[in-house]
Amino acid sequence: MSVTEELQATVADMVDGRRGVLAADESSGTIAKRFQSVGVDSTEEHRRFYRSLLLGTEGLGQYVSGVILFEETLGQRDDNDSLLPELAARAGIVPGIKVDKGKGPLPGAPGDMITYGLDGLAERLQGYKEQGARFAKWREVYPISPSNPTSLGLTANAEMLARYAAVCQSCGVVPIVEPEVLMDGDHSIERSAEVNEQVWHEVFHALHRHGVVLELMLLKPSMVTPGSECAKAPPQQVAEYTMRALRRAVPAAVPSINFLSGGQGPEEATANLNALNQLWHAPWQLSFSYGRALQEPALHTWSGDDSQRSQAQSALLKRARLNHLAMLGEYTEGLESESP
């Protein structure tokens, strides 16, 4: 199979109009905070058990087409000695891998950030492929302030995303491109829309310069929402502002837009996705790539008590099903009260 055929097969397996992506790629620091919130120590065994709980959820493949894993998870096994990427694949879920190495300040652009991890990426991707990964994810973050993101912040982050995506495609790995505009702050939804549109324009200019084939990548953007210190916007408003910015900046060649939840609660993220899919026909699949907004009910149900495994899996399956319905524009708040 050629590199292009590999990429096409992965996109076909992940983009089918009814399923999304589970983000289970929390870094060691992030998952430690999540576990701490439910009184669980972040040991290797707890992480293995929890992630095998997620991937072992019967029926998850009906609603989830891909899972983003942390590097540690690629080599972990469930209680039946199955490698976790194999567990996902057997359920019809494509395994993927987070490949960036975290972020730090961008020199010359006070307040902006830049992500690390390009060195040796091609070699790492070959190793990840051997462990079962078929797609990758790289995240750049953009704070909003009166002076951020700067012009340098916009161009430097776009360049990193494009270089990453080009390396992935050269290795036969589908890139998920994640430019996250942070919710932190008191900015208006209008300011959020302005920044998101600027970010997406820069990203796609860079992708074009680097020869990235748009049909063979996925986009994982933020939804356009007010800052977290402001009152929440209703789903219809989020959908209208988000769609307007997307139509101005994102080429129709991109097969799927898998939104990140970015601090939204589970019900909020589902309602906003539903509103987007009810608004009008889009040239892209509008889907999800949620972490906390999919996992949170399952994590709180489990809370380190292994006897709650099946109940936690039911909670995860319910959230996945509701987001599947949101992709179809068929979600209603009344569904939240149904038993998992």
- State how far the Cα of 274 lies from the Cα of 6, in Å rounded to an integer: 31
Specify the CATH architecture of the domain 3-337.
Answer: Alpha-Beta Barrel (3.20)
Amino acid at 123: E
pLDDT in tens, the chain (340 residues): 899 999 999 999 999 999 999 999 999 999 999 999 999 999 999 999 999 999 999 999 999 999 999 999 999 999 999 999 999 999 999 999 999 999 999 999 999 999 999 999 999 999 999 999 999 999 999 999 999 999 999 999 999 999 999 999 999 999 999 999 999 999 999 999 999 999 999 999 999 999 999 999 999 999 999 999 999 999 999 999 999 999 999 999 999 999 999 889 999 999 999 999 999 789 999 999 999 999 999 999 999 999 999 999 999 999 999 999 999 999 999 889 887 7
Active site residues: 178, 220
DSSP 29-77: HHHHHHHHTTT----HHHHHHHHHHHHT-TTGGGTEEEEEE-HHHHT-B
Instruction: Please tell me what DSSP assigns to residue 250.
Output: S
With a CB cutoff of 8 Å and minimum separation 6, the contacts of 294 are 22, 23, 261, 266, 288, 316, 319, 320, 323
Among candidates 223, 321, 228, which has minimal Cα distance to 279? 223
Q: How far is CA 42 from CA 29, 37, 49, 313, in A?
A: 9, 11, 11, 20
Place of tokens 């490949």: 99
| Residue 20 backbone phi and psi in degrees, to 5 | -130, -165
What pTM value is reported for the model? 0.97
Q: Domain coordinates of the chain in residue numbers?
A: 3-337
Q: Would you state the structure tokens that stand for residue 83, as one six-digit string?
A: 């490698």
